[in-house]
Structure 1
Amino acid sequence: MRLEERWGWVSMPFRRETEPTGWVETAKQKEALARLHVMVDRGYLGVLTGEIGSGKTTLIRRFVHELNPLTYHPIYLSMSGLKPKDFYGEILRHLGEEAPFSSVKAKRLFQERVEQRSSQGEKQLVVIVDEAQDLSDMMILELRFVMNHQMDAKSLFPLILVGQPELRKRIRLRKYEAIWQRIGLSYHIGGLTEEESIVYIRHQMKQVGAGMPVFSDSAVHLIHGASQGIPRIINQICTQAIYDAALNGHEVIEDKHIHRVLIDQQLQRGAV
């Protein structure tokens, strides 16, 4: 018997592939979404950062889901060590163009195509670069050209950099001062509060059809403290606790299940 069948759920909760429509909003996420929309409306170079597992990619999926497909053409890039040639080539491919082998020609074609789209009133590009803390030095410096094709001209499209907290520290370096000054808006996603963690866990259970509370209040308190409110870590602890409870024939997840999960995680990391 599958685990969800044992519990009478329609599927397993705390899955990574959360649908945008099933997402639970917190105050921080609402604020982040609002700022992302401002970045797009004003054509900003924007920055969104958050700890590993804080839900940045899920947030971006929700944001793209909210964009009007008749007005915007979102392009999502996630490539370690992204270089200018890669950037221009990927944008051109998303626009249906064959990218020239020469980086100079690719850059020129990119500029021509973007300006053409703007003058003809085509859908506005929205470029999102994920894992931006890993951008190459050349790519960070190239952002000045990407956002301004002509001297002090208004940017023709918004560009949103998404990454871990190191991204902020990196672009504050003196050699990137010209880039830092061009950032129109930024936001950092922190962990959930304990109240938000409670809402998050209850929402996950409701989504799979749980008819009664599965996690005790004290168990949720332990989960929040161990995870620091990071959704991915909450998911891991809750999933392992569900398996532990099922293995022992228990219907409610209590402190003892969470303690066993946390001890096992420490053993796996070699911390005990």
Structure 2
Amino acid sequence: MYQHYFGLAEAPFSIAPDPRYLYLSQRHQEALAHLLYGVSGDGGFVLLTGEVGAGKTTVCRCLLQQIPASCDVAYIFNPRLTVEELLSTICVEFGIACPSGNASIKVFVDYINAYLLDAHARGRHTVLIIDEAQNLSAGVLEQMRLLTNLETNERKLLQIILLGQPELALMLERPELRQLSQRIVARYHLGPLTKAEVAAYVRHRLEISGAQRQLFPAALMGRVYRLSGGVPRVINVLCDRSLLGTYVQGKERVDRATLAQAAREVFHQAQRRSLVRPLLVVLILLLGGMLAMTLYQLELRETGTATAPAAMAKPADQTMAATLPDTLEWPPDKPRSRSKAIAYAALFRAWGADYKGADACRQAENLGLRCRSVRGGLDELRRLNRPAVLLLRDDQGREFHAALVALADKTATFAIGAEIRTIALGALAAQWAGQYTLLWRMPPDAQETIRAGERGPAVQWLIGQLAEAQGRVSGTGKDPLFDDVLERQVKQFQLAQGLIPDGAVGPQTVMRLAGVGDRSAPKLLSGQGGQ
């Protein structure tokens, strides 16, 4: 949208893991060196962890451009699979021909071992890279360890690189995974950028995209660092929104006010800030009223006529009794270990289904639903308008799950254990780090990615959903095209939904569109028939 205005060849702050834009900070250089060591090493496991958005996948894409010609690499980026499914995927990625319809683990392993022996005989190195590996179950990880058992006197025949969030490292500390942990020959945790590296990172991406002038003053870099925490993906989203705001205002470069507004949009701070002053006023008035009432009671009590003040004090007492709890606690009569199963049972009930245990997302797919498990904020949940399971912590840091079943302006209602509890949103902030899982329904004509230039039922569906969302009449032809006009309508919808207005119809945009007019789905917000 703003590339031509600023003289850029392409968007400089896309969140796609493009290796051309990789800024090799000292940490990223070390991470890449660990991966290269893993590719050329003598087998075993290499572990790379980092927070969401730290750049793990981008470093891995850079690795794929530098692998030696003697290496055969398989890259798996959706590891939420069973043992059989993962082994089947490995066979597909390496081009191993297995018997059609096979579901035997032994058969898969035998074919993989035969392939590894043949590759070794031909002087080839075999490398398996698994992204988002924190989603692997302990059973699947153990099977991966067993695959590395095949070895010669000099080296193991399979090198496995695991990329994941910090919880992956914690998972590998479990006693049942100690054998795998002992086979990790290199570990590295990719941390955030420093303040100086953030400034260099922003300059680097602008230069790659063809910027001819300074679009972000040096004086703002400290603010960008503090807002983003040095996380590259957050920097990208923040800078992209800042450039969009600068373009809309017709300015030459980003200023402090535009950056602040971008931060409010990215971190969903506008509503919170707007409520601060009114809440303070209400609090002052309430305290003042209680003080006046107390003095009035004392005065009447001294004159022997305390009956009336006592009656007047009743509403205040009722107000205090109705005060919401300041924390959400797990019921002591229920085992905390079952909190996840209980929460998912409540979530599935909201969709009119029974939760049967095990993998909730896989079960949802069998019911014709999709599963979204990410880290976000309350504003995002309001827009999605679907019940969700939240991962919470009590004041002692112990984790438990609860189903968020209703969300109002100032309160949140949970199904926790066998109870329904409501707490103030301010209390929720102290217990929730943003991790949630929700279910949504993919319409039959839709698809997860709809690209410009396409035709067909998915484009027809897209046009109809945009028209309903934007209050227009859908006037489509027999075989509509995803053209420039439709792309502009997509961008308008994305902007209204708080998404990056890039015109690309991916999973997040499809999910928001799927919610439009789905009146049979359970709602998080009261009084809304659709989104």
Q: TM-score, normalised by structure 1?
A: 0.92
Contact 2:46–2:161 (Cα < 8 Å) also in 1: yes
One-letter amino acid matched to 2:58: T
The structure having more radius of gyration, on CA atoms, is 2
Contact map agreement 1:148 1:154 (CA 8 A) in 2 = no
SS at match of 2:268: helix
Q: Paired residue for 2:239?
A: 238
The 8 Å contact of residues 54 and 232 in structure 2, kept in 1 or not, is answered as yes
Report if aligned partners of 1:218, 1:255 keep a CA contact under 8 Å in 2: no
Q: How does 1:186-225 map to 2 (within 5 A)?
A: 186-225=187-226
Q: Structure 2: how far apart are the matches of 1:233 and 1:35?
A: 24
- SS of 1:224 mapped into structure 2: helix
| Equivalent residues of 1:47, 1:183 under 8 A apart | yes
CA contact (8 A) 2:173 2:181 kept: yes
Q: The residue matched to 1:267 in structure 2 has which SS?
A: coil
Contact persistence 1:39–1:158 (CA under 8 A): yes
Change in 2 beyond 3 A, CA 1:143/1:153: farther
Query: 1:152 Cα deviation (Å)?
Result: 9.2
Could you tell me whether the CA contact under 8 Å between 1:129 and 1:160 is conserved in 2?
A: yes
Partner residue in 2 for 1:67:
67
Are 2:237 and 2:266, in contact at CA under 8 Å, matched by a contact in 1? no
Percent identity at matched positions?
26
Name the count of aligned residue pairs.
269
**Larger relative CO (CA 8 A, sep 6+): 1 or 2?**
1
Residues 33-182 of structure 1: matches in 2 within 5 Å?
33-42=32-41, 43-68=43-68, 70-100=69-99, 101=102, 102-121=104-123, 123-149=124-150, 154-182=155-183
Q: Deviations over 1:207-230 (max 9, x none)?
A: 122211111123221111111111
More off after superposition, 240-249 vs 260-269? 260-269
Runs of 5+ in structure 2 lacking a partner?
A: 274-531
CA distance in 2, matches of 1:197, 1:144: 38
Cα drift, residue 177 of structure 1 = 1.0
Cα distance, 1:75–1:141 mapped onto 2, change above 3 Å: same
For residue 184 of structure 1, report the CA deviation from its aligned partner. Answer: 0.7
Q: Does structure 2 retain, via aligned residues, the 8 Å contact 1:44–1:185?
A: no
| Paired AA for residue 17 in structure 1 | A
Instruction: Give the secondary structure class of the aligned counterpart of 1:188.
Output: strand
* Bigger shift: residues 196-205 or 99-108: 99-108
Within 1, Cα distance between the matches of 2:259 and 2:26? Answer: 27
1:269 and 1:183 map into 2 onto residues whose CA distance is: 45
Contact 2:79–2:86 at 8 Å: present in 1 too? no
Cα shift at 1:268? 6.5
SS class of match (1:178): helix
Aligned AA (2:218):
D
Hey, what's the Cα distance between the residues in 2 that align with 1:142 and 1:152? 22
CA contact (8 A) 1:218 1:254 kept: no
Q: Does 1:14 align with 2:18?
A: no
Change over 3 Å in CA distance of 1:218–1:71 after alignment to 2: same
Structure 1 residues 15-24 or 35-44, which shifts more?
15-24
1:181-237: per-residue Cα shift (whole Å, max 9, x none)? Answer: 111111010011111110110011111222111111232211111111111000000
Kindly indicate whether the alpha-carbon contact (under 8 Å) linking 2:129 and 2:160 is maintained by their aligned counterparts in 1: yes
Deviates more, 1:138-147 or 1:192-201: 138-147
| 1:3-32 Cα deviation digits (max 9, x unpaired) | 211112222211133542442211001111
Q: 1:147 to 1:265 in 2, by over 3 A?
A: same
| Kept after mapping to 2: 8 A contact 1:85/1:107 | no
CA contact (8 A) 2:147 2:158 kept: no
CA 1:211/1:14 → structure 2, altered by over 3 Å: closer, same or farther? same
Scaled by the length of structure 2, what TM-score is found?
0.48
Distance 2:271 2:57 in 1: 29
How many angstroms does 1:47 deviate by?
A: 0.5
User: How far apart, in 1, do the equivalents of 2:152 and 2:95 lie?
Assistant: 28
Superposed displacement of residue 267, structure 1: 3.1
Q: Helix, strand or coil: the match of 2:88?
A: helix
Larger mean CA deviation between 184-193 and 241-250 belongs to 241-250
Q: Which runs of 5+ in 1 are unaligned?
A: none
The one-letter code sitting in structure 2 at the alignment partner of 1:163 is: G
CA RMSD of aligned residues (A): 2.0
**Cα distance, 1:87–1:190 mapped onto 2, change above 3 Å:** same
Q: Is the 8 A contact 2:80 2:135 kept in 1?
A: yes
